[in-house]
A and B are shown apart, each in its own frame.
Chain A
């Protein structure tokens, strides 16, 4: 209304693809840093879940050594799942999501940047914390490299797949439990190969095959999951 007439024909400067990507990522990272407790919750949960197993099953080192790869992986998987619900929730509540969908920018990139920022705030810290849990559960030192590498390749896939579930349920009030129902079946292949990689590292078998499969799943996820997330967001916001 009160815009000067001379501005009418001027198209505002469009940020490039990379600029858009970094802007979205920076915004999400900054928002995450402003809410530190949300940042710590998945990590604390990860630590607590892992400490339940020695208490609930057996504190024997020889026994814990055997179940350690699976327990750390299941813990990381559940911690990621727990943090998924908040990915689009606040944006949906305050209307930012609607504005993002209306903007002329490719949703694919926006979504990818959001998921990457989310991974940097959950998957990456979980990966860095995993060796500590490995020590707590008497995982042999040979297994540590396998643990960190498999989590490094596997947790981004978990974030990407989880984001599909988060996008599908963002419009629902009771989204939390439903996400787990939708996403857990899709997490199973990642879990199998992730825990398999750690097991292989412990027994001294070559890791290459497992890591290649995890990498292939990640590549597939990066290429296809943002399409599904974008479609799911459009459905959730319009419905």
Chain B
């Protein structure tokens, strides 16, 4: 058979090997761990101690340094889950299924964090814990979607079927992401528009948004660390009959 020239790079195929992924993530983990620790500690100190207080909201605005990274991350995590699910459906990659599965509980937790910090922030500024406006509601829907994915996965016995079914559900739920993103532009709501955009300079002064950026990157690193830990566990669990896992376990 003539060898077909593939348009996909070599590392894409390497990702399909659980063993290669396990070892690769094991090499990445310490770097991301150190990065997370450094960024989160530095970002927290900078944002809580050194950043100036808001001229209207005083110190209560500082919760933005947790709320915004959590909200951004909750959506990115859903995107990653859907993309990994699609890769799993199309190329039947086991590792992609594992990534998709591992994203759901992390994303649900982060979504709860975003909603909770939003509620705590809403009390002093809007005077209410919860307002039924578009952004809050669509964020709540995002949490429900995560919970649906988790429930569907746990209801199915076979790992393969469960992964495929949740991938379909995650892809269907993807319609919610643009709704969350643009809810503040489409509807007049209490919630302020996006803090960060790729194309424009933030409306906040530099000494306020710079620590926020550090926190956002720190949250992403934290997400990477917890995702890699979960995926590595999942690889070990599903590949427990493979000889390399046996050898690894014998060493311990």
Where the two chains meet, the residues of A that have a C-beta atom closer than 8 Å to any C-beta of B are 161, 164, 168-169, 171-172, 174, 178, 181-182, 184-186, 188-189, 220, 228, 231-232, 235-236, 238-239
- B165 — which chain A residues lie within 8 A by C-beta? 168, 232, 235-236, 239
Q: Is the interface of B mostly helix, strand, loop or mixed?
A: helix
- B145 — which chain A residues lie within 8 A by C-beta? 185-186
Q: Write the nearest CB–CB distance from B196 to chain A, whole angstroms.
A: 26
B194 CB–A CB distance under 8 Å: no
Q: How long is the Cα–Cα vector from A238 to B173 in the complex, in angstroms? A: 23
Q: Write the nearest CB–CB distance from A109 to chain B, whole angstroms.
A: 19
B63 CB–A CB distance under 8 Å: no
Q: How long is the Cα–Cα vector from A220 to B179 in the complex, in angstroms? A: 15
Closest 5 CB pairs of A and B: A239-B161, A185-B144, A235-B164, A182-B148, A185-B141
Assuming A171-B161, A228-B171, A235-B165, what are 13 further A-B pairs, CB within 8 angstroms?
A168-B152, A168-B165, A168-B168, A169-B155, A178-B151, A181-B151, A185-B144, A186-B176, A220-B175, A228-B172, A231-B168, A239-B156, A239-B162
Q: Mark B138-162, 1 if CB is under 8 A from A, else 0.
A: 0001001101100110011010111
Interface pair A189/B179, CB less than 8 Å apart: yes
- A185 — which chain B residues lie within 8 A by C-beta? 141, 144-145, 148, 173, 176
Interface pair A182/B137, CB less than 8 Å apart: no
Q: Write the nearest CB–CB distance from A165 to chain B, whole angstroms.
A: 8
Question: Which of B148, B161, B169 has the most CB atoms of chain A within a 10 A radius of its CB?
Answer: B148
Residue in B closest to A185 when the chains form the complex, CB atoms: B144
Q: A188-B137, A189-B179 are in contact. Are A178 and B152 (CB under 8 A)?
A: yes
Residue in B closest to A177 when the chains form the complex, CB atoms: B151
Q: How long is the Cα–Cα vector from A6 to B168 in the complex, in angstroms? A: 46
